[in-house]
Structure 1
Amino acid sequence: MTPHPDNGRAAAMSSAVGAQNIPVSLRALSSLPDIDYADLFTLPADAVATPEQWARAMFGDVPSPGERFIWRGLLGLRLSHGRSPDTVAGWRISGRGDGWIRLETASWFLNANLLVQVSGGRVSLATFLHYDRLLGRLVWPPLSAVHRRLVPRVFGVAAAKIDRHVTRG
């Protein structure tokens, strides 16, 4: 039996759902005019890696087939094609600062930000959505349950990649 890629890290992960439960300092890094959905996952992280390195470890340079199905197919998100220093998994890097990076994209019915922050021995992933049309309010709630189940695995895989990178030097 193959161990889960998070190597037990999921137990140490904390999460919060709802904009009111996300620190104001983190919400302020979103580019959205209003936040209709927000969640935050935080994992202790000993490895020294930049927010962009964490984002690329989580999502890759180009979206996986599963990510394309969810992001393009179900959510209609516009993603860039191919590898670029200006994108992560097709999401445009729309902002960065000391300890954080913001990825941004949109569809015809919602706008989305993914924010990766590295601070104080922790790495965090925040998801922020703004619904431009009613369809966003209808489509995202059932998908958000799937999203919240997938994030711990995404973190586990990313942490293993970061650990391997740090170990190799």
Structure 2
Amino acid sequence: MTVGGTASTVGTERVPASVRTLSSLSRIDYADHFVLTTDVAATAERWARVMFGDTPDAIELFLWRGLLGLRLSRTASANTVAGWQTGEQGVEWIRLEAASWFLAANLVVQASGDSVALGTFLRYDRWLARLVWPPLSVLHRRLVPGVLRTAASRIAAGEVRSGVSTR
């Protein structure tokens, strides 16, 4: 398994337009995009399921449901990843969607022959989002490279964090 460095882009206008167009949000107030170079091959859905699982773990529940108030599915299904609804997917990407009373979010996982990427997009629907997300985004940006590297190791080792079969 070869895993290279992680490159990141932060800022709505700095994330490539080709990536931003995968978001379903009517307006993007926050965007970031992390790319890990790797020769580990898997579908975008498998990457997403290995990164996040079928149901959120305790830390994800605290961050996503507790701090961000995201309405996540409580049961595993083929249409959810860690409680996030599968919005749409293409040959090399999948979009996960969730919302709360004060923001809407998309996670976009892209997988190609030589890399995996995770993009995060948020729309602030209420003033609270502008207060809550900026400090959380610092933690988010520190965690994402490790999430990508850990997923690459798990996929290379044949580990599965999910119980729902992937397509």
Q: Same fold (TM over 0.5)?
A: yes
How far residue 68 of structure 1 moved from its aligned partner, in angstroms, is: 0.1
Please point out which of 123, 129, 133 is paired with 1:136.
Answer: 129
Please point out which of 98, 107, 116 is paired with 2:100.
Answer: 107
Partners in 1 of 2:150 and 2:113 — Cα distance?
21
Question: Does 2:75 align with 1:85?
Answer: no
Give 1 or 2: higher helix fraction.
Answer: 1
Partners in 2 of 1:47 and 1:133 — Cα distance?
40
Q: Mapping of 1:36-115 within 5 angstroms?
A: 36-115=29-108
Deviations 1:97-147 (A, max 9, x none): 120000000000000000001124111000000000000011000000000
Partners in 2 of 1:120 and 1:162 — Cα distance?
14
Q: Which residue of 2 aligns with 1:121?
A: 114
How far residue 152 of structure 1 moved from its aligned partner, in angstroms, is: 1.3
SS at match of 1:21: coil
SS at match of 2:158: helix
Partners in 1 of 2:59 and 2:113 — Cα distance?
32
Determine if contact 2:2/2:40 at 8 Å carries over to the other structure.
no
Partners in 2 of 1:40 and 1:17 — Cα distance?
7
Please point out which of 146, 149, 167 is paired with 1:153.
Answer: 146
Mind listing any 5+ residue stretches in structure 1 that lack a counterpart?
A: 1-6
How far residue 8 of structure 1 moved from its aligned partner, in angstroms, is: 9.5
How far residue 159 of structure 1 moved from its aligned partner, in angstroms, is: 0.8
Please point out which of 27, 39, 59 is paired with 1:34.
Answer: 27
Q: Which residue of 2 aligns with 1:19?
A: 12
Mind listing any 5+ residue stretches in structure 2 that lack a counterpart?
A: 160-167
SS at match of 2:78: coil
How far residue 43 of structure 1 moved from its aligned partner, in angstroms, is: 0.3
Partners in 2 of 1:145 and 1:103 — Cα distance?
21
TM-score by length of 1: 0.90
Percent of residue pairs bearing the same amino acid type: 58
**Corresponding pairs, count:** 159
